[in-house]
Structure 1
Amino acid sequence: MNLSLSFFIGYRYWRARKANAFASFITIFSVSGILLGVAALIVVSSVMNGLEGQLKHRILGAVPQLTVQTETALDNWQQDVVNLSAINGVQGVTPNVSTQAMLQSASNIGAAQLYGVYPEREKSLLNIQRNIYSGQLDELKPGKYQIILGTELARTLDLSVGDKVRVLSGDGVVYSPFGPIPSQRKFTVIGVFEVGSQVDATVGFIHHDDAQRLMRQQPGDVKQLRIYLDDPFTAPAITPNVVNYFSQPVTTTDWRDSYGHLFGAVKMEKNMMSLMLSLIIAVAAFNIVSALVMMVVDKTTDVAVLKTQGLTTTNVMAIFMIQGSLNAIIGLITGVAAGVLLTINLNEITNALGISILGAGQHLPVQLELSQLSTIVIGTLVMTLLATIYPALRAANVQPATALRYE
């Protein structure tokens, strides 16, 4: 098959001024459709990626990404921490203790998930360290019964730094003749954090030793480890490696148990948006079919002459596939360039136009991923290439004797 000849003829057909003005209009329309579809798909996908990444940082940076719990206290948890930290994909490991508690202030009452932490071990791993107001994670001292709350939770309880709050935990219940009595302590608010997610309304942090006392656990016993990951989404893949490390039965939980539905909804929305915008590209690809069919009809005589000169069926198909692909490539290149430029400068453009999508002072999260960009490019090329097959087959099936009968 002489592809160079097919490319030369296809390129000449593509450059030539088309006698059929309607076919020219459809060609321009299809190229513009590919341009707009590709650009919109890049911009929307990048914004959805940014939203997902922001949620991952704000939520999964403050809550346990992966926890492992044993039935009995670990004999040498310090060595376990070192060994588990060496697993590929693990960022850090710390002792963990948590409880669901009721918080009672002078004016209100609310529920929260409290995590006991060692500040010296976790200040570089918890993302709240950079978002604490009027306090620091290092200020949590054992035996002082101090607490750091999310902004929404503190606002609900009408608390500020220095105020006292009563914490009641169901994990330290004792039974008396009057019935079960929950464990309770008064804590002092030493800090308020804000990460900009629902964590601000449901989470609080206290010292690990104070949490054990609140829950009436044996001081120094560690039955649960909190594992920080380089990428929280890799938790299902890393869990088997963690389980295999222990010789005793363990129970593992990860962030999907509490927040999997939220990230599942974001992923579904991202996929649906990508599907809808891909339909724009599909419509443009069908317009390529229409334009090429008109071109085949217009060039029927030329095709018949070429076939009488020895051009093979495969060469004829290649001519029209190349012609249609050139239109698609132009739309794809311009669409990718426009989409990348819009994505990189999206916040500057919206600010210049006076558009505030998320409210004053807030910027759209944007994350342009090369792998996703490659998928868009390859998918568009495949879709448009498939669109050229039918017109090319019609051209290849032209019978020279029939087409030249009245010439």
Structure 2
Amino acid sequence: MFKPLTLSIAVRYLLARKTHKFASFVALISTIGIALGVSALIVVTSVMQGLQDRLKDNLLGSTPHLIVSSDAALDAAALKALPHVIAIAPFVSGQALLQSDNGIVLVNVEGEDTLDLDSDIKKADVPHDKLTEGSFELYADMGLLIKLNLNLHDKVRLISTQNARYTPLGLTPSQRIFYIKGATPSLTGDNSIPTVKGNYSDIKKLLRINNKSSSYRLYLSDPFLINETVEKLPQNLKYTTWQDSKGDFFKAVAMEKLTMSLMLFLVIIVAAFNILSALAMMVSSRLSEIAVLKTLGMKEKTILLIFIMTGSGCGIAGTLIGLLLGIPLTQNITKITELLKISVTTQATELPTVISPLNISLIIAGALFLSLLCTIYPAYKAAKTDPVLHLQQGY
């Protein structure tokens, strides 16, 4: 049972530095190690979470979260009622060859009817509502425009073999002249297929999609919850998700975040083992004092609690110092990198950080648990000390 006497003895053992200097030095090093590990973990996890959220906004803002298609008419109301779906819009997509005077490139073509979309949905891709039906205008990937040396209002030809028709001359693809209306940010790699976007009806005519089949683009409140939405889809529907095109990239980001967190957590583990070493030296040097306490009637459970509290004090102190260091460092990480002349951002942007209470709670809980775990064995050995043997050795 906890008593003030137990706490007072634990604090006295923890702060005693004159008679047990080396053990106190090891305990100090372990406290500093835990503080550095906790603060580094807070900074790294916050920065990685911020980068992941920014990538999610930039990449998945323009990438369809979920596309559902069927050869028959789809129930729009049922699709909008799916978990995490905030809006839906008729959508068509396919592949085509884009031909210009400077070359020919395979592209993805997309068209979306944004007429019924809620105005509060913030979209990072093309403002489709500015493309009128019959204008045959396109918004093209910036990288594609640079590659083919295309300018605004330039004429290009789109050739699609999707739903090609047989004529007396053989299999004839669909082709139409389009005009470059504007550019979209290039968010794909060099080996990725660029995307061009046009009016829903114009792209539908190019791809020769009949009115019987239907396809919808579903907007989710959080793209990372896509699996919960897909599980509720009827089995007869075809669908594609953002994971098909961007899933490997975000898996790599998550793996990097996990790897860096584990490497920094090793610092806390090493520091916690230093607590074990310091407490073991403290117990071995105080065996005669422990024997006196047991002779005076102190129970083994009380002695066990005294040394657990003594060792845990280093872990608690290190965790609190790390917390007090980590949060301000995270909040001022951009200014710190600028002072250190480390260029990680442009002048117009800051290093994104997200201080997650859940992540911080897990870091604190892990550090405290390891500190407590490493005190159990030395405290147990102290509680099992034979008072007769060590009192005899003391005289």
TM-score, normalization by structure 1: 0.90
| More moved, 396-405 vs 151-160 | 151-160
Counterparts of 1:40 and 1:191, CA distance in 2: 44
Counterparts of 2:319 and 2:25, CA distance in 1: 18
Counterparts of 1:177 and 1:207, CA distance in 2: 31
Contact kept? 1:105, 1:166, Cα under 8 Å: yes
Mapping of 1:375-394 within 5 angstroms?
375-394=362-381
Counterparts of 2:291 and 2:371, CA distance in 1: 26
Counterparts of 1:124 and 1:168, CA distance in 2: 35
Contact kept? 2:131, 2:137, Cα under 8 Å: yes
Letter in 2 for 1:89: H
Identity of matched residues, %: 38
TM-superposition CA deviations, 1:244-270 (whole Å, max 9, x none): 7xxxx2122211122111111111111
RMSD of aligned C-alpha atoms? 2.2
* 1:371 counterpart = 2:358: yes
Cα 1:212–1:2 shift into 2, 3 Å:
closer
Q: 2:180 aligns with which of 170, 180, 189?
A: 189
Give the number of equivalent residue pairs. 392
* 1:208 counterpart = 2:203: no
SS, match of residue 233 in structure 2: helix
Counterparts of 1:156 and 1:381, CA distance in 2: 56
Q: 1:156 aligns with which of 118, 135, 147?
A: 147
Mapping of 1:234-273 within 5 angstroms?
234-243=225-234, 249-273=236-260
Counterparts of 1:354 and 1:388, CA distance in 2: 42
* 1:65 counterpart = 2:56: no
Q: 2:80 aligns with which of 85, 97, 100?
A: 85
SS, match of residue 336 in structure 2: helix
SS, match of residue 381 in structure 1: helix
Aligned to 1:127: 123
Shift of 1:359: 5.2
SS, match of residue 110 in structure 1: strand
Counterparts of 1:298 and 1:404, CA distance in 2: 13
| More moved, 14-23 vs 250-259 | 14-23
Counterparts of 2:154 and 2:212, CA distance in 1: 30
Letter in 2 for 1:217: I
Q: 1:144 aligns with which of 135, 141, 144?
A: 135
TM-superposition CA deviations, 1:33-81 (whole Å, max 9, x none): 1111111111111111122112211111111111222122x1xx5xx33
TM-superposition CA deviations, 1:319-378 (whole Å, max 9, x none): 111011111111101111211111111112212333212456543222221111111111
TM-superposition CA deviations, 1:212-269 (whole Å, max 9, x none): 1001122x5551111110001111111222327xxxx212221112211111111111
| Structure 2 unmatched runs, 5+ | none
Counterparts of 1:126 and 1:216, CA distance in 2: 30
TM-superposition CA deviations, 1:104-152 (whole Å, max 9, x none): 22213222222111243457546325xx6xxx54321111111111221
Aligned to 1:169: 160
| More moved, 119-128 vs 151-160 | 119-128
Letter in 2 for 1:373: I
Contact kept? 1:128, 1:194, Cα under 8 Å: no
Cα 1:197–1:56 shift into 2, 3 Å:
farther
Contact kept? 1:150, 1:193, Cα under 8 Å: yes
| Structure 1 unmatched runs, 5+ | none
Contact kept? 1:229, 1:235, Cα under 8 Å: yes
Cα 1:61–1:87 shift into 2, 3 Å:
same
Mapping of 1:312-391 within 5 angstroms?
312-358=299-345, 361-391=348-378
| More moved, 146-155 vs 278-287 | 146-155
Counterparts of 2:255 and 2:98, CA distance in 1: 36
Mapping of 1:258-297 within 5 angstroms?
258-297=245-284
Counterparts of 2:80 and 2:138, CA distance in 1: 28
Counterparts of 1:357 and 1:213, CA distance in 2: 46
Cα 1:137–1:379 shift into 2, 3 Å:
same
| More moved, 167-176 vs 229-238 | 167-176
Cα 1:175–1:124 shift into 2, 3 Å:
farther
Mapping of 1:47-66 within 5 angstroms?
47-66=47-66
Contact kept? 2:108, 2:193, Cα under 8 Å: no
Counterparts of 1:170 and 1:3, CA distance in 2: 82
Contact kept? 1:153, 1:201, Cα under 8 Å: no
Cα 1:254–1:60 shift into 2, 3 Å:
same
Contact kept? 1:162, 1:189, Cα under 8 Å: yes
Letter in 1 for 2:165: V
SS, match of residue 28 in structure 2: helix
* 1:99 counterpart = 2:94: yes
Letter in 2 for 1:60: L
Counterparts of 2:310 and 2:175, CA distance in 1: 77
Contact kept? 1:150, 1:201, Cα under 8 Å: no
SS, match of residue 62 in structure 2: coil
